[in-house]
Chain A
């Protein structure tokens, strides 16, 4: 802070990672990575200067600080001495087995078990690929408000992709398992069953018929459709987009924006989930934030600069991909609380529609509210029963409209697969979840009349 400024921050990170890939029956390679560096941010007025460096020596940090402040502070120089207060540790995730204490052979053998289990599902299985990755990241953040906070984030993930061959071509299945816990993850879950599930998905789709085309009721299975809320409204509740007038939810706090059945939470404290963090990447403790209560918009998600500017409390949503990136408002684990109905009853009450058992990725235009997401496993609902599997396609909708159109919510809440949320070129790990629910009308992008 030799050159003054309204706000200055140092974020340093040290991350070790291991990954291994298996494809076509072979462990192709094991990779080790080390990323270490610091990002320095200086804010003067409305201008942020940011520089990063992998050189953590005093000279390297000084050079980065000079670069960051050079552009931000064109005004007078001044020195402000800041005394840092170490924040009490905010521990969310309990790690039993650190990845660096596990041999690479054990990691690789997970992949071989998965490959074998998927191939055991029969001759239709044409190809299996699997990826394992772990990371241990330590971060430390200090800023000119006197904050000093640290966190350690450990993640393990396993991904399985399967190709099945049939008379009408190939179909694919995908499953993943990822949590912010240690290697004990793989003692707690049956990875072989996960592989068989991926294989079954691909095999089932071999007899899939084209998805319908047009607007019809859609039932989304518990734990498979959190991405709907992530896209339909989550991004639109990020304060940076709201403050620029780039969200359909701007100026709507206190208003009914969704079906009264919907209570939506973003929760960085949900231990072990993919988006769980002790502190965000600006040093603030993660929180349980209610965004929509019984259909009424209660609050947005905030990062440090936006909260500071508007006199709002922190929400623990200032996140960044790495030391090479500026933080911005990001979700953590975003989910909808349970309703009261039975999932079976919701299907039985649907004469005709689509049942989505698994969603792929999605994207949203926060300003118009239009979003899409892919359905990777889906079935037709006819006379209240699941019938034929459907081929893949996109669903399209408008966020505010779909939130209002949720007309049934079950009591079978489940979290979904680990996700990576992309915004402005940065990816961060996020989780999502919801109970089985029905949207009374969504447009299915299939080809059948």
Chain B
């Protein structure tokens, strides 16, 4: 986040200058604009153009923390936010580890997060892109209808200042197109989606987005409910990325110290197959969530989490690190000015293997290629490790892809699944999510269907 706004930094600086003796104060100031265009049947269905701004202020005194925010940068509102945050301090429980981050000397790895070509891109061309995506998708298969085609972009600038010496600001922008599809065959309707993301619209691959959206919907037409049995599953890169998102909760240092991680006290032990090597590396510019600083303003960095199946450590913010007797790994995350920072992985990547998905499938005797999952938020408990999710995909028999299947679940436990990993594919896909995707083969999973 380079060359940010001095105006926002001035606001943050002015707030922390008002800190009283014995007070730590942090001001986080943000401003953003967004455009959201939806096309339906060749016409603009809606066009959203919006701007927002706000400030969040944290005050820590005698180990107690108070916080307040407002969705405005109005001078009088900011004064009231600081007063509210101060007032809230009195109601916290003293916590000897409470405190803001302090500069730790780790050098920032600069990222190119701002793209002038996007900032200058004309509105008419954005509309044209979404219309073109709708046209390409509808033309790709006679069974496919387009539910909607969308163009979205956003640009934001932020500034952070603390009385402990953090002072950073920056700006970033990004854009994406997406399309939702419906495919009909008689009474049956199935759905699909496709997308393309970029720092600028020039990076979009509309043809690929259209093809995937049509394919996702049509491949499920005529799908059957499979029988219930134990199988080997091959997770599509898109599904693996979501699986890694679930694992990230157990690698969160705050969850570890608060007794909510199934990996607690297991550093140095084998928690996964030797084929499983996992890093969190937001400094890799290929990652969709690449960033140069974390939510507290410390440098983002590369962290090894699991090496050849052996747990290496956890991700930390300055607070969780202080409690755990270690140092921040630059993994403070914050969702904007309305909240205080927490802990989280930033850009996970599984070390890829060498083979293609087709080669992985060819080795599976009896299994399913899982192309989509539904209900990861409801059927997976990252604390107990119970894992159960709705799924759809293609049956695999003797190394050959077979009939499409839907309305079934796959279930195991996270602990077992990590040990039951048979192979990691070589097909890394830098998806627009917190984890990169790659095909993943897991044995002995229960499929529940008819």
Interface positions of A (Cβ within 8 A of B)? 20, 22-37, 45-55, 67-68, 71-72, 104-105, 107-108, 126-127, 129, 163, 165, 169-172, 205, 211, 213-215, 244-246, 248, 324, 326, 360-363, 365, 367-368, 370, 372-374, 391-394, 396-398, 443-447
Size category of the binding interface on chain B: 35 or more
Asked if A126 and B190 sit within 8 Å, CB to CB, the answer is no
- Identify the interface centre among B54, B77, B390: most chain A CB within 10 Å of its CB: B390
Asked if A447 and B446 sit within 8 Å, CB to CB, the answer is yes
Residue of B nearest to A369 (CB): B189
Asked if B340 and A370 sit within 8 Å, CB to CB, the answer is no
Asked if A213 and B448 sit within 8 Å, CB to CB, the answer is yes
| Mask of B68-96 contacts with A, CB within 8 angstroms, 1/0 | 11111000010011001101101111010
B374 at interface by CB-CB < 8 Å: yes
Q: State whether A51 and B408 are in contact (beta carbons under 8 Å apart), knowing that A34-B69, A169-B384, A393-B388 are contacts in the complex.
A: no
Residue of B nearest to A52 (CB): B50
Q: How far is the CA of A108 from the CA of B44 in the complex (A)?
A: 48
Asked if A68 and B49 sit within 8 Å, CB to CB, the answer is yes
Q: State whether A29 and B92 are in contact (beta carbons under 8 Å apart), knowing that A213-B446, A363-B374 are contacts in the complex.
A: yes
Q: How far is the CA of A205 from the CA of B84 in the complex (A)?
A: 41
CB<8 Å pairs between A and B, sample of 17: A24-B258, A32-B84, A51-B49, A129-B258, A163-B259, A172-B384, A211-B388, A244-B147, A326-B46, A363-B377, A367-B191, A373-B378, A393-B379, A396-B390, A396-B448, A445-B388, A445-B408
**Residues from chain B with Cβ under 8 Å of A394 in the complex:** 375, 378-379, 388-390, 409, 411
Asked if A368 and B191 sit within 8 Å, CB to CB, the answer is yes
Q: How far is the CA of A107 from the CA of B378 in the complex (A)?
A: 29
Question: In angstroms, how far is the closest chain B Cβ from the Cβ of A391?
Answer: 5
Asked if B258 and A23 sit within 8 Å, CB to CB, the answer is yes
Q: How far is the CA of A33 from the CA of B262 in the complex (A)?
A: 34
Question: In angstroms, how far is the closest chain B Cβ from the Cβ of A336?
Answer: 20
**Residues from chain A with Cβ under 8 Å of B88 in the complex:** 29-32, 104
- Identify the interface centre among B260, B378, B392: most chain A CB within 10 Å of its CB: B378
Q: State whether A46 and B43 are in contact (beta carbons under 8 Å apart), knowing that A360-B378, A362-B375, A446-B448 are contacts in the complex.
A: yes
Asked if A32 and B72 sit within 8 Å, CB to CB, the answer is no
Question: In angstroms, how far is the closest chain B Cβ from the Cβ of A235?
Answer: 13
Question: In angstroms, how far is the closest chain A Cβ from the Cβ of B247?
Answer: 16
Question: In angstroms, how far is the closest chain A Cβ from the Cβ of B274?
Answer: 23
**Residues from chain A with Cβ under 8 Å of B47 in the complex:** 47-50, 71-72
Q: State whether A391 and B384 are in contact (beta carbons under 8 Å apart), knowing that A213-B411, A396-B407 are contacts in the complex.
A: yes
**Residues from chain A with Cβ under 8 Å of B446 in the complex:** 213, 446-447
Residue of A nearest to B319 (CB): A28
- Identify the interface centre among A29, A53, A397: most chain B CB within 10 Å of its CB: A29
Q: How far is the CA of A374 from the CA of B387 in the complex (A)?
A: 11
Tell me the dominant secondary structure on chain A's binding face: strand
Q: How far is the CA of A151 from the CA of B388 in the complex (A)?
A: 42
Asked if B91 and A443 sit within 8 Å, CB to CB, the answer is no
**Residues from chain A with Cβ under 8 Å of B191 in the complex:** 246, 365, 367-368
**Residues from chain B with Cβ under 8 Å of A443 in the complex:** 225, 407-409, 448-450
Asked if A33 and B407 sit within 8 Å, CB to CB, the answer is no
**Residues from chain B with Cβ under 8 Å of A51 in the complex:** 48-50
Asked if A31 and B68 sit within 8 Å, CB to CB, the answer is yes
B385 at interface by CB-CB < 8 Å: yes
Name B346-383 residues within 8 Å CB distance of A.
374-375, 377-379, 381, 383
Asked if B411 and A127 sit within 8 Å, CB to CB, the answer is no
B23 at interface by CB-CB < 8 Å: no
Q: How far is the CA of A105 from the CA of B87 in the complex (A)?
A: 11
Asked if A446 and B388 sit within 8 Å, CB to CB, the answer is yes
**Residues from chain A with Cβ under 8 Å of B257 in the complex:** 24
Q: How far is the CA of A127 from the CA of B384 in the complex (A)?
A: 13
Q: State whether A36 and B72 are in contact (beta carbons under 8 Å apart), knowing that A51-B50, A392-B388, A445-B411 are contacts in the complex.
A: yes
Q: How far is the CA of A246 from the CA of B190 in the complex (A)?
A: 9
Asked if B340 and A29 sit within 8 Å, CB to CB, the answer is yes
Asked if B412 and A215 sit within 8 Å, CB to CB, the answer is no
Question: In angstroms, how far is the closest chain B Cβ from the Cβ of A121?
Answer: 16
Residue of A nearest to B446 (CB): A447
**Residues from chain A with Cβ under 8 Å of B69 in the complex:** 31-34
Asked if A71 and B44 sit within 8 Å, CB to CB, the answer is yes
Question: In angstroms, how far is the closest chain A Cβ from the Cβ of B333?
Answer: 16
Residue of A nearest to B228 (CB): A214
Q: How far is the CA of A119 from the CA of B361 in the complex (A)?
A: 49
Asked if A245 and B411 sit within 8 Å, CB to CB, the answer is no
Asked if B449 and A214 sit within 8 Å, CB to CB, the answer is yes
Q: How far is the CA of A444 from the CA of B407 in the complex (A)?
A: 11
Asked if B409 and A396 sit within 8 Å, CB to CB, the answer is yes
Asked if B390 and A445 sit within 8 Å, CB to CB, the answer is yes
Asked if A48 and B95 sit within 8 Å, CB to CB, the answer is no
Q: How far is the CA of A344 from the CA of B375 in the complex (A)?
A: 30
Question: In angstroms, how far is the closest chain A Cβ from the Cβ of B177?
Answer: 16
| Mask of B104-121 contacts with A, CB within 8 angstroms, 1/0 | 000000000000000000
Question: In angstroms, how far is the closest chain A Cβ from the Cβ of B344?
Answer: 16
Asked if A28 and B190 sit within 8 Å, CB to CB, the answer is no
Question: In angstroms, how far is the closest chain B Cβ from the Cβ of A374?
Answer: 3
Asked if B91 and A108 sit within 8 Å, CB to CB, the answer is yes
Q: How far is the CA of A24 from the CA of B92 in the complex (A)?
A: 13
**Residues from chain B with Cβ under 8 Å of A32 in the complex:** 67-69, 81, 84-85, 87-88
Asked if B338 and A46 sit within 8 Å, CB to CB, the answer is no
Residue of A nearest to B148 (CB): A244
B194 at interface by CB-CB < 8 Å: no
**Residues from chain B with Cβ under 8 Å of A170 in the complex:** 259-260, 262, 383-384
B66 at interface by CB-CB < 8 Å: yes
**What are the nearest 6 A-B pairs in CB distance?**
A445-B409, A394-B379, A374-B378, A372-B375, A393-B388, A372-B390
Asked if B70 and A34 sit within 8 Å, CB to CB, the answer is yes
Asked if B95 and A28 sit within 8 Å, CB to CB, the answer is yes
Q: How far is the CA of A33 from the CA of B49 in the complex (A)?
A: 24
Asked if A391 and B67 sit within 8 Å, CB to CB, the answer is no
Question: In angstroms, how far is the closest chain B Cβ from the Cβ of A112?
Answer: 9
**Residues from chain A with Cβ under 8 Å of B92 in the complex:** 26-30
Question: In angstroms, how far is the closest chain B Cβ from the Cβ of A251?
Answer: 11
Residue of A nearest to B54 (CB): A54
Question: In angstroms, how far is the closest chain A Cβ from the Cβ of B295?
Answer: 15
| Mask of B42-70 contacts with A, CB within 8 angstroms, 1/0 | 01111111111110000000000111111
Q: How far is the CA of A105 from the CA of B92 in the complex (A)?
A: 10
Residue of B nearest to A392 (CB): B386
- Identify the interface centre among A52, A129, A170, A394: most chain B CB within 10 Å of its CB: A394
Asked if A47 and B52 sit within 8 Å, CB to CB, the answer is no
Identify 13 new A-B residue pairs, CB closer than 8 A, beyond the known A49-B49, A374-B375. Answer: A23-B258, A47-B46, A49-B46, A54-B52, A127-B259, A170-B383, A171-B384, A211-B388, A363-B374, A392-B381, A393-B386, A394-B388, A445-B410
**Residues from chain B with Cβ under 8 Å of A26 in the complex:** 92-93, 95
Which one of B40, B49, B377, B448 contacts A444 once the chains associate, using CB atoms below 8 Å? B448
- Identify the interface centre among B65, B189, B340: most chain A CB within 10 Å of its CB: B189
Which one of A54, A171, A361 contacts B72 once the chains associate, using CB atoms below 8 Å? A54
- Identify the interface centre among B70, B92, B384: most chain A CB within 10 Å of its CB: B384
B301 at interface by CB-CB < 8 Å: no
Residue of A nearest to B223 (CB): A368
Q: State whether A246 and B378 are in contact (beta carbons under 8 Å apart), knowing that A54-B52, A127-B258, A368-B191 are contacts in the complex.
A: no
Asked if B50 and A398 sit within 8 Å, CB to CB, the answer is no
**Residues from chain A with Cβ under 8 Å of B411 in the complex:** 211, 213, 393-394, 445-447
B100 at interface by CB-CB < 8 Å: no
